[in-house]
Copies of this chain bind each other. A is one copy, B any other.
Amino acid sequence: MPQMLAETGRMVEQALDALLPVPEGPEAKLLEAMRYSSLGGGKRLRGFLVMEVASLFGVSPTCAARVAASVEMLHAYSLIHDDLPAMDDDDLRRGKPSCHKAFDEATAILAGDALQASAFEVLAEEDTHSDPQVRADLVLALALASGMRGMVGGQMIDMMSEGRQLTLDEIARLHSLKTGRLIQYSAEAGAILGRAPASQRHAIASYGHDLGAAFQIADDVLDVTASAAELGKTAGKDAASGKATYVTLLGVERAQRQAEMLAEQAVAHLEQFGPRADRLVSLAKFVVSRRS
């Protein structure tokens, strides 16, 4: 699995590199920061999901790579803003200084803002798909997944929850908004691109939903069991900030079992696709067994 991820990751990286302009002019620093935080790192889980699902529906890899690059831009913006001093105040990201450390706070805020705009720009461009209905659908789905009813809403709940004891249900909703929606979108985007029939789009969305939940619980487990060197970001953060997680409520073992169960549930949604979905099956298994 890591090889497959790395292979697809290179395609996504190339698309990102081509879509982000070469830094020049008095605003060069902005473009450098955008490139710094979106190129050369990350598992590209979201991009991989777009590419793999798109290939199930016969979408050209060139179009899929643009959508994959778009969601990775969106993801990079969220990491930049989450790391800011007023938010999680984190100095380390993907094994290197976070954006506001490598540049400065103002540049980091603006780089995040511009990456969000670029993500929508790429989706709306004709090169992404000849059918404007597909492009408008992609934009709408990304906006819903990443805005107040999705990722940003989840990040707000996360900020409000420090030092408070959330219930399992509350944590599940937090996770679903903060990371789940964007992972689900990544899978669904491949189906939108491929103009998949409603039933297949629904199956893919369900796969993405359960995969996202499994991913986040596994992340909570890794925060406790992995080192900063393995993670490429600060470890033990959740405990230090007094945040309730699946691990603080269930313990490491039960949390890990819960993640594995969700991964199996994700895989079950793929049945109708047969062996063509093998790589998506492998991804679900990888997500709950990875060490970083």
Residues of A within 8 A of B (CB): 21, 26-27, 29-31, 34, 77, 81, 84, 86-87, 104-107, 109-110, 112-114, 116-118, 120-121, 123-125, 131-133, 135-137, 139-140, 142-144, 146-149, 152-157, 159-161, 170, 174, 177
Contact = CB atoms under 8 A, between A and B. Distances in A.
24 contacts: A26-B160, A26-B170, A27-B148, A27-B153, A27-B154, A27-B156, A27-B160, A29-B156, A34-B148, A86-B104, A86-B105, A86-B106, A87-B106, A110-B155, A113-B113, A114-B152, A117-B147, A118-B143, A120-B142, A120-B143, A124-B137, A125-B140, A132-B136, A135-B139
B152 A117 contact: yes
A119 to B, nearest CB: 8
Nearest to A141: B124
How many copies, total?
Answer: 2
Given A114-B153, A116-B116, A124 B109 contact: no
B114 A148 contact: yes
A264 to B, nearest CB: 30
Nearest to A138: B124
Contacts of A135: 132, 136, 139
A154 B26 CA distance: 9
A157 B25 CA distance: 9
A146 B113 CA distance: 9
A96 to B, nearest CB: 21
- Looking at A21, A30, A153, the one whose CB has the most chain B CB atoms below 10 A away is A30
